[in-house]
Amino acid sequence: MARYVRDFSEGDKDQKDLLGGKGANLAEMTRLGLPVPPGFTITTEACRAYMRTGEVPPELRVEVTMAVRHLEDTLGRRLGDFHEPLLVSVRSGAKFSMPGMMETVLNVGLNDASVQGLASLSGDERFAWDSYRRLVQMFGRTVLGIDADLFADALDKAKAARGVSADVDLDAADLRGLVDTYKQIVRDESGREFPQHPREQLDLAIVAVLDSWGTERARLYRRKERIPDDLGTAVNVCTMVFGNLGPTSGTGVAFTRDPATGRTGDYGDYLVNAQGEDVVAGIRNTLSLADLEGVDPAAYAELRQAMRRLETHYRDLCDIEFTIERGKLWMLQTRVGKRTAPAAFRIACQLVDEHLITMDEALARVSGAQLSQLLFPQFAADVAGAELLTRAMPASPGAAVGQVVLDPARAEEWAAQGRDVVLVRRETNPDDLGGMIAAVGVLTARGGKTSHAAVVARGMGRTCVVGAEELVIDTEAGTVTARGRTVHEGDVVALDGTTGEVFVGDVPVVPSPVSRYLEDGLDVALAEAADEETRDLVRAVDRILTHADTVRRLRVHANADTAADAGRARRLGAQGIGLCRTEHMFLGERRVLVERVVLASDDAGRQAALDALLPLQRADFVELLEAMDGLPTTIRLIDPPLHEFLPDLTALSVKVAVDRERGHVDPDDERLLAAVERMHEANPMLGLRGVRLGLVVPGLFDLQVRAICEAVADRIAAGGSPHAEVMVPLVGSVQELRIVRERALATMAQVGADRGVPLTLPVGCMIELPRAALTAGRIAEEAEFFSFGTNDLTQTTWGFSRDDVEGAFFAQYTANGVLAVSPFETIDVRGVGRLVEVAVAEGRATRPGIGLGVCGEHGGDPESIRFFHGAGLDYVSCSPFRVPIARLEAGRAAV
């Protein structure tokens, strides 16, 4: 068998690695007996050899000769023949489709002689010259790299000279003149003649397709889509058939179902008397497939049949490129079609109902990313009338309408008054978090899709548009200006996080029907749906999600700090709280008490402050446990450095200095300043925080554990079923945990005795330091469960400070290929994932029934969930609004 060339009749659809997607599917259609013009595929192996050596492998030239001879013999026509010329197309086709990235040359084999042959063979001189001018044009652009506008301008001039507006109105003589003009352009621009020898045309076109794999834009596209650079493309050489042979010919694209809405029934565009890309280029108005039925019922019927055949064969939505040459149908391409999120869900269920696929397969055909698209609010009406302020990078989808605010603190203030606000910032940083949480949308002038604003907004499900460079933000004046339009703080803008558009004024938004379904149930969503299509979508999501719930092994918990969040998470299907952070319980008016704990000069003073905090904390936990009644609720003891709860060092220094100047300083301020100075750390995230804080500041963890225990006792007394678990953060050594655990057990025993209920709350720890993962076997002696804190574990494994690296640094790192994706977004399986695996294995070896979960953003990331499923964890925990996505992805991981 030849090494580098395969006839279309040799391959099949499963050989995409070798033949590329287009080649494999052309082979499959040939095998099915569909009318595919004969041809052959040059394999991706040839491309890889070419990339390695920079030379076309010599065997390839020989094999191409054999394959062309075979084609010529089969068809009884010769490449470049004066009487009966064979023409071919040279088409790229990689394993993964890269729309618009790669090259195709049509009508290869035409020259000054064979154009005559084509004219007499077809009896249509105009057609022959039209084909020739297309070859020179495509060859000039693709192979010789000449600016496409030069050819387009010449075509426009020719039309203008004749006073016609459509290219079909040019006659043979016009087109013949155009060929001369085009050849002159080739001469002027490339310094060479348009090659007359057909084999030279063919060889140059093949090399051009091979080269198109390595272009900058193709590389960029692959990086974005995470397609490896070393796959290479195949090259398909396919006998030409002609859609530009007069009114009984044409070319079109078709889908077996509507890829935009998922509606059943075929769907497509057809252009009479046209070739190649004319349809998508939109040069003339196209006909619908229904119109085609009127024009050519026989060809239409055959097409319908072929489409049905393909859909049954692939058991999925197919998209198709076809050409009709004088009433004869030819199939030029097919593949499983791309589709929108609603179409994906609807079509998957349709195919189940048509008994073409199983529910497991339906589940595999939708994704968490698609589900998340269905959850964002939508602009209610079309936005055609709205005034565009700017258009930038869509970073997090959705539709947000609110008043412009330029300051995060004010955003919180206004939001607290019940106003919807859009936070507009040059860029955001971790200090803006409160404002971002308060806002319905975030707009920044700087940064890309991995900027702080983008990442945080996606994580929270906030609509976000970033990198609106034309925005001029004047915080002094409180204005935002772009395109000559100035918007003041308080004015309303509308952000479309799917398109990146920003409008001035109100564009009404509504919650999506699917989020209605998730929040309020199927009946409400169906009752409120605007139309039957929407009801169909809601039903499809319900069916697939329900199936995911039945097949998944991973439980899905939520990260929720308040009863309100917990309740929401529960409505969305959370089966527990995987992470309740307790930090927020030390803010607001409780700050004063924290200050007193820190400032206490003796044990009694400290204990008094702690005692004052106790009832407040207990009340928080009672509410939370009530919301999560019957479900596991993992409460993490205080994690961040204590100074985060104290006043800012600079601000306090200034205040004290000013007071001194005035002659009166509050002694409390002096002591506070001394304490803040004492606690100042160069690198607080690696400093006195987590379990370290608990061991160093007496009474702090005791207070929290007591509050939890008392809340549990209260809930039991109220007839509830609380399942609180105590989680210790930032453990690096088993000794740390041992001390904390012994004290916790003592507190449990004491509260249990006082309240007359036995309390046995599980105590476990976060695994978020490499040392914890590597000594997990020992830590498991003291831990009843592990929760992988993969955010910190990623920071500490890589030595990246998350808050600092995600801006320009990561943008560079992804641009130059060091990182395919931010390790904070998708777990770094090789490094961080390995630590997880080590800890799972060691933890289970010590304590076979040890509970294993993950909290942190990776718990809601599809690819990471797949990894956690494989690693054998019991649950993932993610933010409440990602719970449905995690349910779906955990299901997909299991089928």
> Is 276 one of the binding residues for ligand ADP (CB under 6 A)?
yes
Residue 323 binds to ligand ADP (criterion: CB under 6 A): yes
For residue 376, what are its two tokens? 């964002």
Residue 502, binding choice from ligand ADP, Mg ion, none, Cβ under 5 to 8 Å by partner class:
none
User: Looking at beta carbons only, is 321 or 620 nearer to ligand ADP?
Assistant: 321
Return the biggest CA–CA distance within the chain.
108
Tell me the backbone φ, ψ of residue 273, rounded to 5 degrees. 50, 60
Does 333 help bind ligand ADP (rule: CB under 6 A)?
yes
* H runs (alpha helix) in 636-789: 649-662, 667-679, 691-696, 700-717, 734-755, 770-774, 776-779
**What are 110's two structure tokens?**
């035409």
244 neighbors 122 (Cβ within 8 angstroms): no
Of residues 321, 710, 714, 828, which one binds ligand ADP by CB under 6 A? 321
When the beta carbons of 789 and 807 are compared against Mg ion, the nearer one is 789
Is 581 annotated as a binding-site member? yes
Asked about 855 being catalytic, the answer comes back as yes
What is the Cα–Cα distance from 322 to 891, expressed in whole angstroms?
A: 38
Query: Which of 254/613 has CB closer to ligand ADP?
Result: 254
260-265: long-range pairs with CB below 8 Å, 24+ = 260/339, 260/340, 260/343, 261/340, 261/342, 261/343, 261/346, 261/533, 262/339, 262/340, 262/342, 262/343, 262/344, 262/345, 262/346, 262/347, 262/350, 262/536, 262/537, 263/346, 263/533, 264/350
Q: Is 238 in the site for ligand ADP (CB under 6 A)?
A: yes
> Residue 877 burial (CB < 10 Å; 0-12/13-18/19+)?
buried
| Complex with Mg ion: residue 13 or 516, whichever CB lies closer | 13
Interactions with ligand ADP, residue window 2-41 (CB under 6 A) = 37
Interface residue with ligand ADP, options 240, 411, 421, 482 (CB under 6 A): 240
Q: What is the 3-state secondary structure (H, E, C) of 426-469?
A: CCCCHHHHHHHHHCCEEEECCCCCCCHHHHHHHHHCCEEEECCC
Contact present, 725 and 680 (Cβ < 8 Å): no
The residues near 68 (Cβ < 8 Å, ≥ 6 apart) are 79, 199, 202, 237
89 or 826, CB closer to ligand ADP? 89
Residues contributing to the site for Mg ion (CB under 5 A): 321, 333, 768, 789, 792
Q: Report the candidate in 788, 791, 773, 775 with the shortest Cα–Cα distance to residue 873.
A: 788
Is 413 a known ligand-binding residue?
A: no
Least Å from the CB of residue 453 to ligand ADP:
35
In the shown chain, the binding pattern of residues 81 to 100 toward ligand ADP, with x for contact by CB under 6 A and - for none, equals --------x-x---------
Site string for ligand ADP, 450-489 (x = CB under 6 A): ----------------------------------------
Q: Which of 143, 205, 271, 332 binds ligand ADP (CB under 6 A)?
A: 332
User: Which among 643, 855, 858, 878 is annotated as catalytic?
Assistant: 855
In the list 15, 25, 104, 879, the residue contacting ligand ADP (rule: CB under 6 A) is 104
- Binding partner of 792, given ligand ADP, Mg ion, none, CB within 5-8 angstroms per partner class: Mg ion
44 is in an annotated binding site: no
* Residue 768, marked binder: yes
CB of 321 to Mg ion, least distance (A): 5
Please identify, using beta-carbon distances, which residue of 91 and 858 lies nearer to ligand ADP: 91
Which CB sits closer to Mg ion, 568 or 636? 636
- Could you confirm whether 452 is annotated as catalytic? yes
* Secondary structure element (H or E) that encloses residue 134, with its range: helix 125-142
Distance of CA 583 to the CA centre of its chain: 31
636 is in an annotated binding site: yes
Residue 274 is a binding residue for ligand ADP (CB under 6 A): no
Query: For the purposes of burial, counting CB atoms within 10 Å of the CB of 819, is it exposed (0-12), middle (13-18) or buried (19 or more)?
Result: middle
Q: Which residue in 742, 726, 750 sits closest to 782, CA to CA?
A: 742
Q: Which stretch binds ligand ADP (CB under 6 A): 220-228, 234-242, 482-490, 649-657?
A: 234-242
Element (H, E) at 422: strand 421-425
Does the footprint of ligand ADP cover residue 68 (CB under 6 A)? no
249 binds ligand ADP per the rule CB under 6 A = no
Q: Is 677 annotated as a binding residue?
A: no
Cα 832–chain centre separation: 21
- Which partner in ligand ADP, Mg ion, none is near 789 (CB below 5 to 8 A by kind)? Mg ion
Q: Which of 47, 238, 452, 580 is catalytic?
A: 452
Q: Which residues bind ligand ADP (CB under 6 A)?
A: 37, 89, 91, 104, 106, 238-241, 251, 276-277, 321, 323, 332-333
Could you list the active site residues?
452, 855
